[in-house]
Amino acid sequence: MTLGTGTESALIIDIAFWVIAVSSIVAAFAVVQLRDLFRAALFLAVSFLGVAGIFILMRAEFLAIVQVLIYVGAISVLVLFAILMTRDIEQGNPSNRLRIPAGVLSVLFVLVTAFVLVNTEWTLIDDAIPTMESVQTELVLSTETVEEVAEVYSNTVPKIATLLLQDFVIAFEAASVLLLAAIIGALALVRNR
């Protein structure tokens, strides 16, 4: 038995993942490279939608909805407002003199991270599920555990709510205080003296 409906290793899922991931990466690159700031903000929204697609593929559907609502719906619009209110027509999106060191650092970061990721021995949930084929790790989850794991992923919304209000309630309240501070700060910045 597998976690999902057994289609997660299908080719169409791989194609969908790579289409979404590559479009998200290309849109992210367009954000930092385009001269026209307005189009860069629109490509930012495309990148956020790509990330929401990846969330759905990772079976975090509630998180995908939250991502679309908050990032695409609120933050992209806020960035567009800011761009329209601070129009600098001659020079849209120039680079400063740290362009080449930043580029080298970014490429180095990706290479080091990819090297570390490929060479780590992960204990994957999919490997630990007892199947007819050979089990690849020492850890073998029991059948009840696998069923409970599958049941958790079938509907994550009430379970995230349980976690937020029982286990992570302090962080939840702290996030509320953070939002209050942000509101007060924004109001203090824009009021007329």
By CB under 8 A, what part of segment 8-67 binds other proteins? 8, 13-14, 17, 21, 24-25, 28-29, 31-32, 37, 40-41, 44, 47-48, 51, 54-55, 57-60, 62-63, 66-67
Shortest distance (Å) from residue 132 CB to other proteins:
20
- Closest Cα partner for 60 from 49, 68, 72, 52? 52
| Least distance (Å) between residue 167 CB and other proteins | 6
> Which of 2/57 has CB closer to other proteins?
57
Within 144-163, which residues bind other proteins (CB under 8 A)?
A: 145, 148-149, 151-153, 156, 159-160, 162-163
DSSP annotation string for 41-90: HHHHHHHHHHHHHHHHHTT-HHHHHHIIIIIIIIIHHHHHHHHHHS---S
Q: Which of 126, 128, 150 is nearest to 139 (CA)?
A: 128
**Residue list 160-189, contact with other proteins (CB under 8 A):** 160, 162-164, 167-168, 171, 175, 178-179, 181-182, 185-186, 189
Listed residue (40, 49, 33) closest to 84, CA to CA: 40
Instruction: Check residue 1 for interaction with other proteins (CB under 8 A).
Output: no
Applying CB under 8 A, the site for other proteins has a residue count of 92
Report in angstroms the alpha-carbon separations of 66 from 62, 73, 159: 6, 10, 15
Task: Give the one residue of 122, 170, 192, 193 binding other proteins; rule: CB under 8 A.
Answer: 122
Q: Give me the 84-103 binding string for other proteins, x by CB under 8 A, dash otherwise.
A: -xx-x---xxxxx-xx-xxx
**Sequence-separated contacts (24+) of 21-26 with Cβ below 8 Å:** 21/50, 21/54, 23/50, 24/49, 24/50, 24/51, 24/53, 24/54
Q: Which is nearer to other proteins, 75 or 134 (CB)?
A: 75
Report DSSP state, residue 119: T
Structure tokens at 165: 């209000």
State the minimum distance, in angstroms, from the CB of residue 21 to other proteins: 4
Smallest distance from other proteins to CB 1, Å:
16
